[in-house]
Each structure stands twice: as C-alpha cells, then as structure tokens.
Amino acid sequence: MERKVSVKSWLAEKGFKDVLEMIEAQETAWAEQGKKTRRNWWDVLAGGKNGKARNIGGIEFPVLAAAQERMNRAVTANALNEPLPAPEVEAAREAPEPPAKIVEAAMEVEPEPVLEAAPEILPESEPKAPSVIIERR
C-alpha cells in the first residue's frame, strides 16, 4: 500500500513553493487568531464553480489541473498545468468479516413466533379471528 501523500509535500516536491507558502500563511493566520480550522487544500486548489479560483482569508489560491483531476472534476482553461499527476485518493478500507463463531451462533438461534392478532383484544361485537403465528426470519 502506498503511503498517503499530503498536499503540502506534493506541492513542495512538484515545485509549487509559492502555493505552499500561501497555504502556510493562511494556516498561520488562523493559528494566530486562535482558530483550529482545517481545510481540504486539494479541494481549494481544484477551484470553485467552473474552475474559478477560490479566495480564502483574502488570499486567492490558484487552480491546479492536477488537483482538478484528483477531485474528479473537469480540467478548466485557467488551471495551471503540471506534467505529473497528483497522488491517487486512498481507498477506504472494507469492513472486516464477522468472526465465524458469531455467524454460526446467529444461525442456530430458533426464531420466536409472533402473534399477529390476539382474539382476546378484539371487541365483542366483531367475530373473533383465529390467532395467526408468523415466524420471524
């Protein structure tokens, strides 16, 4: 399994130092204000509606084609092109199988019958219907 690549390390590796500095400046401003704001920077760098550059905290972030591709968005004309793609999104883990003992125990339990209509609760004026027993599955 590949290691998860952060947006910051990817930007530094690909030479987008200016974009990295913009992100760090915004995070520093938030920290100085006492905010614990977190942001999906891939989403920010993919742009807004129709690839429009996003403005966060007075800083306008450029749109990167690699970020748009990573976020499964159409690459727009204003996006900065980079020859190498952004790292793939890490797949979610599948839920583990339940232990065999639990599955076997659940299959051995006999379902309890459920009374559908009890004749003792019907009004006297109506004819009494026979009780119906339905098994739960």
Asked if pLDDT for residue 42 goes beyond 80, the answer is yes
Q: What tens digit of pLDDT does each residue of 76-122 get?
A: 988 887 645 566 766 667 777 767 666 666 666 666 666 555 556 55
The better pLDDT of the pair 13, 131 is held by 13
Mean pLDDT of 30-52: 92
Residue 118: the pLDDT is 59
Tokens 């930007």 — which residue? 11
Distance CA 28, CA 2 (A): 30
Asked if pLDDT for residue 50 goes beyond 70, the answer is yes
Residue 1: the pLDDT is 44
- For the CA atoms of the chain, what is the radius of gyration? 30
Asked if pLDDT for residue 54 goes beyond 60, the answer is yes
Mean pLDDT of the chain: 78
Residue 82: the pLDDT is 61
Residue 137: the pLDDT is 61
Asked if pLDDT for residue 34 goes beyond 60, the answer is yes
Phi and psi angles of residue 3, each rounded to the nearest 5 degrees, phi first: -80, 150
Lowest-confidence region among 24-28, 69-73, 127-131? 127-131
Domain boundaries, the chain: 7-70
Residues 6+ apart with CB under 8 A from 26: 39, 56, 57, 59
Distance CA 94, CA 12 (A): 32
Asked if pLDDT for residue 46 goes beyond 50, the answer is yes
